[in-house]
Structure 1
Amino acid sequence: MNRNEQDFQAEKQLVREYFSQLIASPASELEHVQNRFIASDYLWRGFHPFHEIRCAHKVATQFWQPLKTSLSHLQRRMDVFMAGANTIEDQGGIWVVSMGHLMGLFDEPWLGIPPTGKIAMLPYCDFHRVENGKITETAVYFDIPHLMMQAGLHPFPPQTAAHLVQPGPMTHGGLMFDTQDPAEGRKTLAAIDHMVEDIKTWRGGVKEPLVDELRRSWNEDMIWWGPAGIGATYTIERYAKQHSSPFRAGMTNRTFNGHICRIAEGHFGGFFGWPNLTLTPSGGFMGMPATNTPGDMRVIDIYRRDGGKLSENWVFIDLLHFWNMQGIDILSRITGIAAGQETGAQGAVV
């Protein structure tokens, strides 16, 4: 059987057990969990301010222990779970993907963000490469500005789309713990590949109405679940107006750097890069000033296919890293505001 069409049940089970023990174990035992599941040559990629960590023990002490201390009674609430063979040939590997929210009681500060004592939900998506019964690579992307906004902070000027706790798939079919029909995964991958390739008409400067371009890849009732600072938007017309058009107008010198992993299973698929894009802010996007400085966007996209086109898209962008490359340290400024330092207009970083 072609490895692209196997069921990946062993890899899925390994990652599910890893998740279970991460949640169940106290902070003092997380390093033992890492020893059981993580390879010695581990590579972990996370959003700013974590970046790359090449040590399982440091991941436990620098990320998981502080997070579990801050978000007490932590739960992993998954909306999508899938696996597959990487279609990026020069990267390869079998990868397991999950997406949803890490939820807990926000009882202690995290990264300088003040606790609320209330439920907090940190949107996340992670990709895990599994080889010889161990996890060798992880990319875990998490929306820190979303957590800031739950704590009453305002890291960005008012966004163009809606800010909300994002739900899972409309079909509730994203948790693919069992074997899926390989033919459905191939259809999903084809839809994603078509969309990625078609965006090159924008990068190549071809002029046409944006909504016409989008309709080649998306169903009319598409939903784009964007990160905090940009927001969520619904239907092709509103997506074009509330995100895609401002994004294209506010970014120049766009370079596509490729993906590290791209997989699909059933009606779902996705990819991540490190970074996916390099762009130069020309002013206006997210209400931020022009910098004329190239910046990298690390992005995870997760998609749901309906028929031959895409219907839902969950997007994770390391906006803190991108704006930090522009000389705007949003994390430091906004946590300084929380600590009583001087604020900009309406408490937003300017």
Structure 2
Amino acid sequence: MPDFQTEKDLVRAAHRAIDSAGAEACSAALAIHLSPQCHWRGYAPFYEQIGPEAIAESFWGPFKRAFSAQTRREDVFFAGKNEIDGFAGTWVVSMGHLMGLFDAPWLGIQPTGKMAFLRYAEFCKVADGQITEVAFYIDIPHLMMQAGLQPFPPQTAAHLVQPGPATHDGLLFDPQDAAEGEATLALINSMISDLGSWNLGLPLEEELRRTWAEDMIWWGPAGIGATYTIERYAKQHSGPFRAAFGDRSSTGHVARLAEGHYGGFFGWPNFTATHKGGFMGLPAGTPERPAEFRVIDIYRREGDKLAENWIFIDMIHFLRTQGVDILARMAEVPRT
């Protein structure tokens, strides 16, 4: 069984290179480990970029000019074979925060001069000694809220800077027991099967108990928030979300993998659905204009249940599919 050490070492080296690079050196830093045609999928407004130079010009350079003393605070790191392509490709996953001093405007958001945390989750495909694909999701609305902006109506759950795993064991730099990863992936697949139907014929809390621990924590994105325990998750997110959407499409994951007690996936998009009205204060959509959800999910398994879940939803893109541009709306709003 592969231990993924070569791929992990390459991604860690790529992180060191970009983390230590100045704003003007980002393209050269990325070119060390990314292929010339690396396909980068990012959170709106960055969307898709091809190659180190485009990635640097669209995201890393402007970000580093806005955030001084930038550092990476990583909470989860694992690798695995991708179930979606028949376990052919190898991906490495990283999750945590990019922390820095918010010293210059970024995306129209005015700086605070204070430390700020940008949530991130990243999937890197490694092939032939290079990173050939990247999914890089961040939580820009969470940063807006740290800067005193309120881009959404009141959230159903809690807004806070989110910690890493309760067990403090999410950095899987060393080889892991393959059987543990297989168990984690199987549990994630069971949960996806339950979730994908939205119609198991069980009360929602009973459905959730099939794969989730009673004291689960769902670390949701800004606009929804974080929630704790099955009962509160059902009340504060899952129930309202299911009630607000119909005509859910099938799941469209690009990569799904697990190692040890950690696993996750990303989709482009994960699914589409018709908004029936009320979610985040939005009016109803139409089948001709479905809501599109681009999502990264990271999970921690404990025993035979999922205990923690970190969710990254491209809320800016989702809202754009519904005719709302919160970046444009928030650009001129003073901090509260």
Counterpart residue number, 2:315:
319
Counterpart residue number, 1:239:
233
Q: Distance in 2 between matches of 1:25 and 1:172?
A: 28
Equivalent residues in 2 for 1:96-175, closer than 5 Å? 96-175=92-171
Equivalent pairs: percent with the same residue?
A: 58
Question: CA, structure 1 residues 338+92, in 2 after alignment: closer, same or farther (shift >3 Å)?
Answer: farther
Q: Is the 8 A contact 2:79 2:257 kept in 1?
A: yes
Q: Is the 8 A contact 1:91 1:260 kept in 2?
A: no
Q: Is the 8 A contact 1:82 1:177 kept in 2?
A: yes
Q: TM-score, normalised by structure 2?
A: 0.97
Q: Distance in 1 between matches of 2:109 and 2:250?
A: 33
Q: Distance in 2 between matches of 1:198 and 1:291?
A: 25
Q: Distance in 2 between matches of 1:261 and 1:110?
A: 30
The farther-off stretch of 32-41 and 8-17 is: 32-41
Q: Distance in 1 between matches of 2:314 and 2:27?
A: 26
Which letter maps to 1:88?
Answer: I
Counterpart residue number, 1:81:
77
Q: Distance in 2 between matches of 1:178 and 1:284?
A: 46
Which letter maps to 2:108?
Answer: G
Which letter maps to 2:191?
Answer: M
Q: Distance in 1 between matches of 2:162 and 2:156?
A: 16
Q: Secondary structure in 1 aligned to 2:63?
A: helix
Counterpart residue number, 1:265:
259
- Deviation for aligned residue 1:69: 0.9
- Deviation for aligned residue 1:287: 2.4
Q: Is the 8 A contact 1:142 1:316 kept in 2?
A: yes
Deviations 1:267-298 (A, max 9, x none): 00000000001011111112222222302100
Which letter maps to 1:298?
Answer: R
Which letter maps to 1:291?
Answer: G
Q: Is the 8 A contact 2:255 2:265 kept in 1?
A: yes
Equivalent residues in 2 for 1:253-332, closer than 5 Å? 253-292=247-286, 293-332=289-328
Q: Is the 8 A contact 2:196 2:250 kept in 1?
A: no
Counterpart residue number, 1:52:
48
- Deviation for aligned residue 1:256: 2.2
Which letter maps to 2:141?
Answer: P
Which letter maps to 1:121?
Answer: F
- Deviation for aligned residue 1:28: 1.7
Q: Is the 8 A contact 1:262 1:271 kept in 2?
A: yes
Q: Is the 8 A contact 2:40 2:48 kept in 1?
A: yes
Which letter maps to 1:307?
Answer: G
Q: Distance in 2 between matches of 1:201 and 1:19?
A: 38
What is the RMSD computed on CA atoms of the aligned residues? Answer: 1.3
Deviations 1:2-60 (A, max 9, x none): xxx31100110011011011111111221111221111221000011011111210111
Residue of 210, 235, 250 corresponding to 2:244: 250
Counterpart residue number, 1:343:
none
